[in-house]
């Protein structure tokens, strides 16, 4: 029997998990469970947490499940985290409130997607042209004061502990049957996307649409959506959107998403110190895994992936978009003192990277 040859994208993605079949994703358990407060540590029993991600199940196989599996194994029966995906226990828009009131013990999301009630929430997700590469995100947090600013902001919120931020994928626009070859082609396109980037792109006529993550593919098939402005090439291929979209815009609105981990403060306080450190280390491992997975996949799938036709907006038009981002930055900076400090960090970082030259820029 002749062995079937894999397409380029199938070879690239051959290591992906058959996630739904192997794990069932907790979907049945989620449907049957109540939303009572999670179990707490009983005599001799493991401490149990509920964690819900912004991500749907296929994406969750990379951005969260390896970390939680590793943590549960390393916790050696002392603690167990039950993992849930987009909208399984609560709608994504309610993630923050559910964590704050104890329905969830922890959340993985960006601030903008879950409407975090802090004055820096606009920076979570895709802030236009704030980053070019995935390493920009941890560098900004470690060396340019964002760690301190994020902690300061969440210290003002009752019963929530911000734990860590990491770099996720870049932002491209993928469309079903309407290619984008100029800014005018964005006019009237209905796309699923992240709030901040959607707000910025709406000045060119793009219409941001919010629906449950699991409904996106069907909405594109039925014509309810014209595409997505949510992710990069790695994710579009992994979750199946590249099977529906025929066109991929190579111009990226930003190079890496800001995403964070949060915990209910009371739940976090109940965790023994050694398990806190274990969980934080598992988050760092997840940040690393995700950065490499996204970074390597972007180049390979843009070059070798065969499912979407690549289109580009001409440089002279795209230069106007990057120029428009400057005024957008200034508008956001004026919204609060803390937002102004974040924008200043972006400006200082960009200037330093430009001055540093090759290989940084």
pLDDT of residue 43: 54
Per run of 10 residues, the mean pLDDT along the chain (length 361 residues) is: 54 46 38 45 79 94 96 98 97 96 97 93 95 95 98 97 95 97 97 91 95 94 97 95 97 94 98 98 96 93 95 96 95 97 97 91 73
Specify if 1 maps to a domain.
no
Looking at residue 14, what is its pLDDT? 55
Last residue of a domain, one of 301, 317, 332: 301
Q: 3-class DSSP state for residue 38?
A: coil
Q: What is the pLDDT of residue 25?
A: 38
Residues 101 and 139 placed together within one structural domain of the fold:
yes
The total of structural domains in the chain comes to 2
E runs forming strands in 185-325: 190-193, 207-209, 227-231, 247-249, 258-264, 309-311
Q: Are residues 348 and 323 in the same domain?
A: yes
Q: Is residue 4 part of a domain?
A: no
Copy the structure tokens of residue 69: 């599996």
Same domain, yes or no: 48 and 120: yes
Same domain, yes or no: 279 and 294: yes
Whether 317 is covered by a domain: the verdict is: yes
Q: Which residues pair with 231 in a beta bridge?
A: 172
Q: Are 52 and 107 in contact (CB under 8 A)?
A: yes
The confidence score (pLDDT) of residue 13 equals: 57
Residue 3 forms part of a structural domain: no
Which among 96, 131, 101 is positioned nearest to 111, based on CA atoms? Answer: 96
CA dist., res. 110 & res. 195, Å (int): 10
51 domain-assigned: yes
Residues 67 and 93 in one domain: yes
Q: Quick check: is 83 in a domain?
A: yes
Claim to verify: residue 47 and residue 191 sit in the same structural domain:
no
In-domain check, residue 280: yes
Are residue 236 and residue 143 in the same domain, yes or no?
A: no
Q: Please, are residues 198 and 208 in contact by the beta-carbon 8 Å criterion?
A: yes
User: In terms of domains, do 49 and 159 share one?
Assistant: yes
For the record, the structure tokens of 241 come out as 């959107």
CA distance 91 to 30: 13
Residue 18 maps to a domain: yes
Looking at the fold, whether 164 and 185 belong to one and the same domain comes out as no
Place of tokens 């890496």: 256
- The encoded tokens of residue 130 equal 């704030």
In a shared domain, residues 47 and 100: yes
Write out the residue range of the structural domain in which residue 235 sits. Answer: 172-254+308-356
On whether both 230 and 98 belong to a single domain, the answer is no
Give the position of tokens 């997700």.
125
- Given 301, 316, 335, the domain boundary residue is 301
Which CATH number belongs to the domain containing residue 281 in this structure? 3.40.190.170
In a shared domain, residues 66 and 201 = no
């Amino acid at each position: 029997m002749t062995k079937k040859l894999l397409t380029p994208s199938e070879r690239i993605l051959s290591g992906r998990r058959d996630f739904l079949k192997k794990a069932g994703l907790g979907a049945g358990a989620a449907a049957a469970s109540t939303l009572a407060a999670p179990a707490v540590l009983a005599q001799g029993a493991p401490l149990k947490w509920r964690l819900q991600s912004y991500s749907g199940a296929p994406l969750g196989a990379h951005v969260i499940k390896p970390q939680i599996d590793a943590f549960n194994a390393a916790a050696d029966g002392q603690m167990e985290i039950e993992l849930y995906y987009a909208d399984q226990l609560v709608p994504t828009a309610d993630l923050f409130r559910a964590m704050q009131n104890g329905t969830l013990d922890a959340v993985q999301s960006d601030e903008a997607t879950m409407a975090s009630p802090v004055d820096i929430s606009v920076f979570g997700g895709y802030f236009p042209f704030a980053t070019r590469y995935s390493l920009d995100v941890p560098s900004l947090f470690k060396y340019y004061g964002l760690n301190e600013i994020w902690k300061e902001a969440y210290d003002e919120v009752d019963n929530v502990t911000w734990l860590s931020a990491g770099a996720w994928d870049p932002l491209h626009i993928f469309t079903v049957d309407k290619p984008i070859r100029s800014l005018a082609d964005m006019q009237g396109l209905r796309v699923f996307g992240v709030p901040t980037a959607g707000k910025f792109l709406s000045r060119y006529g793009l219409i941001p649409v919010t629906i449950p993550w699991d409904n996106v593919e069907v909405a594109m098939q039925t014509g309810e959506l014209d595409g997505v402005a949510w992710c990069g090439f790695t994710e579009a291929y992994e979750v199946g959107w590249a099977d529906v979209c025929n066109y991929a815009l190579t111009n990226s609105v930003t190079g890496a998403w800001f995403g964070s981990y949060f915990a209910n403060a009371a739940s976090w306080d109940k965790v023994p110190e050694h398990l806190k450190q274990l969980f934080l280390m598992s988050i760092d491992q997840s940040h690393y895994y995700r950065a490499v997975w996204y970074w390597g996949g972007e180049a390979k799938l843009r070059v070798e992936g065969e499912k979407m036709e690549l289109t580009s907006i001409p440089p002279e038009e795209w230069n106007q978009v990057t120029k428009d981002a400057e005024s957008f930055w200034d508008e956001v900076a004026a919204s609060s003192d803390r937002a102004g400090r974040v924008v200043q960090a972006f400006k200082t970082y960009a200037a330093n990277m430009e001055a540093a030259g090759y290989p940084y820029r």
